[in-house]
Structure 1
Amino acid sequence: MSIKNTAENYGSIAKWLHWITAALFLVAYVSVYYSHWFLEPRTPASFNAFQIHLSVGASVGVIVILRIIWRLSNPTPRDEPGSRLAHFAAHLGHYALYAVMIIMPVTGYLGTGGNINYFFMFELPKFEDTWLFELLVNNWLGMSFSEFEKPIDFIHKDVMGAWIVWLLIVGHVVAALYHHHVKKDRTLYKMTSGK
């Protein structure tokens, strides 16, 4: 298996980055919903679950930067045969997924009112305690953290997290399964075995 992408397949680095991102999104959702559904608020267990959510979100932020760098420095495999509309929809879906992978970690960090205890190893300061918050939000926008947090949280939780992320992920999975089982082309193989 090639490290770099080829005209036929994604390389091993692109595959690893893809599947690590998918796993991290799953862990982020499981940890936050586990906290909301099964744990009492403001307990050590709910705090730990939320810290895992924040740690995973910060990791996604780093991984997506690596993914973008790798994608820009590597050609993507050729599209499978299909209509121009199908290719346009596929590319649009991928750009939307990249947008989500950027927006979710950024809004998650910007709207968090506490430090991130990164996998219980070290702390990352909350946005409110950074010079960037002071410069952009306090001085330039003239907003307090609580005023700033409300729209950011709305985007992160109510718009992106509750609807858009799920729709895009389900659409991505359904499209991959459609290509594999109905069209019987190599779309899914490009990101798995490559055969």
Structure 2
Amino acid sequence: MASKPVRSGYNSAQRVIHWLTVIIVAAQIAFGDSVSAVERAMREGRTPDGFDAGMANAHFWGGISVLTLTVLRLVIRHRDGVPPPLATGLQARLATASHHLFYVLLILMPLTGLVAWYVLPAAGAVHELGKPVLIVLIAVHVAAALWHHFVTRDTTLTRMLRGPR
């Protein structure tokens, strides 16, 4: 996942993909339990509730969308690079590690979900383990962005909001 530094902010494609992914992942987290409800109804020989069936379907396509957007984002990142980190030392290494973990999760979560649904239901346990990790990582990411914006008063957050200047 090598990246080459570019302007002071992320380009418009990177920003759009980031915020689309945020919206889809939030919905995935909010409605992911509908998949379990549909599976339970099917195991018990019942017709799944219409809302749960719809949300499970949306979760499936949301996962495909997250996977597609993440791969596209990595391609653009490789092609266009990213702004250099504003932090240094341990803080920069932690930021890099957390971004890499995001990419791993945003690829593995959809893949394990697909494998669980179509091939090996036991992969669902691995898929579900990713949810709390992703939630904690999101919380740390948001806290770090707010820290940079309000405490260190650098442009870390605005680079993803406004792009290059």
Name the amino acid aligned to 2:10: Y
Write the mapping of 1:31-46 to structure 2, written as runs, cut at 5 A.
Answer: 31-33=31-33, 41=41, 42-46=48-52
Question: What CA distance in whole angstroms lies between the structure 1 residues aligned with 2:83 and 2:88?
Answer: 17
1:141 counterpart residue number: none
Higher RCO (C-alpha under 8 Å, 6+ residues apart): 2
1:171 counterpart residue number: 140
Where does structure 1 lack aligned partners over 5 or more consecutive residues?
113-126, 129-147
Higher helix content, 1 or 2: 2
Identity of aligned residues (%): 25
Under a length normalisation based on structure 1, what TM-score does the superposition of the two structures give?
0.72
Question: What CA distance in whole angstroms lies between the structure 1 residues aligned with 2:88 and 2:21?
Answer: 29
- Residues 94-124 of structure 1, C-alpha deviations (whole Å, 9 max, x = no match): 0000011001110111101xxxxxxxxxxxx
Among 93, 104, 108, the residue aligned to 1:99: 104
1:160 counterpart residue number: 130
Q: What's the CA shift for 1:31?
A: 2.1
Question: What CA distance in whole angstroms lies between the structure 1 residues aligned with 2:112 and 2:85?
Answer: 32
2:121 counterpart residue number: 149
Two-structure CA RMSD over aligned residues (Å) = 2.0
Question: What CA distance in whole angstroms lies between the structure 2 residues aligned with 1:15 and 1:83?
Answer: 23
Question: What CA distance in whole angstroms lies between the structure 1 residues aligned with 2:127 and 2:26?
Answer: 16
Name the amino acid aligned to 1:63: L
1:67 counterpart residue number: 73
Where does structure 2 lack aligned partners over 5 or more consecutive residues?
42-47
Does the CA contact (< 8 Å) of 1:7 and 1:75 recur in 2? no
Does the CA contact (< 8 Å) of 2:115 and 2:121 recur in 1? yes
